Amino acid sequence: MSELNLREADKLEVTVLVDNYTDAILLQSTDVVKRPLIPPPTLLLAEHGLSCLLKVYAGTEEHLVLFDAAVSTTCFFHNAGLLQVDSSKVESVALSHGHFDHFGALVEFLNRATKGIPLTLHPDAFLQRRLNIPGIARVVDFPALDETAVKKTGTALHKVKEASTVASDLILVLGEVERVTDFEKGFPWVEAKIDDEWVVDPFRDDQGLAVRVKDRGLVVIGGCSHAGIINTVKHAQKVAQADKVHAVLGGFHLTGPIFEPIIGPTIEEMKKIGPDFVAPMHCTGWKAITQFAEEMPEQFILNTVGTTYVFQ
């Protein structure tokens, strides 16, 4: 891996454009958690998807980066409009992995964004994928990200396997996440077509983002964390050469019968990492979210669509 120059940010704002949960009357804000104040009857929409907008500051610099693009253009652009997102000011896009609940509005966003905007993703984000549940005689094909459609938008496509940086070296794109835990074993019901053969998806494309905030530590943001949220955080620490983790946000993928048995080990390892804030989102699941709330009450934040997290 080539040496990276991850700069320190003075401030990071993460606005959740799309997530699974919305709450129009959760209005209480803090210095870190800013809830949206949108007068009814207009409401932010939720769906089974994720999209976050990162605004990072260093001195007089400001950089705006989009991370993932939810499922539907309806939800994504409705929320972006209410939150007054100016797509022309977004300078870069990063994709966590090639699942429809993260790239659904991507092509349309790229069409509306500044021509030539960079898009960073792993080459495997374009793989064909399907759900193949044992004992059920029905295979469900997932929508695949269309590389031709992406290229037609005029984006500057960066297919990168290793860790890299965007936003003038202020945001780390993690690349392929090293698997080091013994309990985060992926999603055996999901298959990918690799070398013209359907195999259990290795999710090599699953990646997150990290920002080193001055005097605070790393803020790590996962998409679905199919590689495991603990693996993702540990990989971020290793690549960024940073011990202190200030916050962990994003999808932790702990919902459903395959993953519920590892909720406990995940929380125990998260306690050892010791972030100041934990905000589970998207595919984390109700049981895991409530268990994080019970076992890490001082660190836990209940996420809702439109919330902005401020780290400085």
> CB of 224 within 8 A of CB of 187?
no
CATH 3.60.15.10 for the 9-311 domain, yes or no: yes
> CB of 109 within 8 A of CB of 70?
no
Residue partners of 211: CB distance under 8 A and separation at least 6 = 9, 12, 54, 56, 170, 171, 172, 218, 219, 311
Stated pTM of the model: 0.97
pLDDT score, position 1: 45
Closest of 282, 213, 224, 272 to residue 247, by C-alpha: 213
Residue type, 63: H
Q: If you count them, how many residues does the chain have?
A: 312
Each domain of the chain, given as residue ranges in start order, spans: 9-311
pLDDT score, position 72: 98
Tens of pLDDT, residue by residue over 30-83, are 999 999 999 889 999 999 999 999 999 999 999 999 999 999 999 999 999 999
pLDDT score, position 137: 77
pLDDT score, position 2: 53
pLDDT score, position 301: 98
What string of pLDDT tens digits covers the 312 residues of the chain? 456 889 999 999 999 999 999 999 999 999 999 999 998 899 999 999 999 999 999 999 999 999 999 999 999 999 999 999 999 999 999 999 999 999 999 999 999 999 999 999 999 999 999 999 988 878 999 999 999 999 999 999 999 999 999 999 999 999 999 999 999 999 999 999 999 999 999 999 999 999 999 999 999 999 999 999 999 999 999 999 999 999 999 999 999 999 999 999 999 999 999 999 999 999 999 999 999 999 999 999 999 999 999 999
Query: What region, left, alpha or beta, does residue 81 occupy, with left being phi > 0 and alpha being psi -120 to 50 degrees?
Result: alpha
Tens of pLDDT, residue by residue over 232-268, are 999 999 999 999 999 999 999 999 999 999 999 999 9
> From CA 106, how far away is CA 114, in angstroms rounded?
13
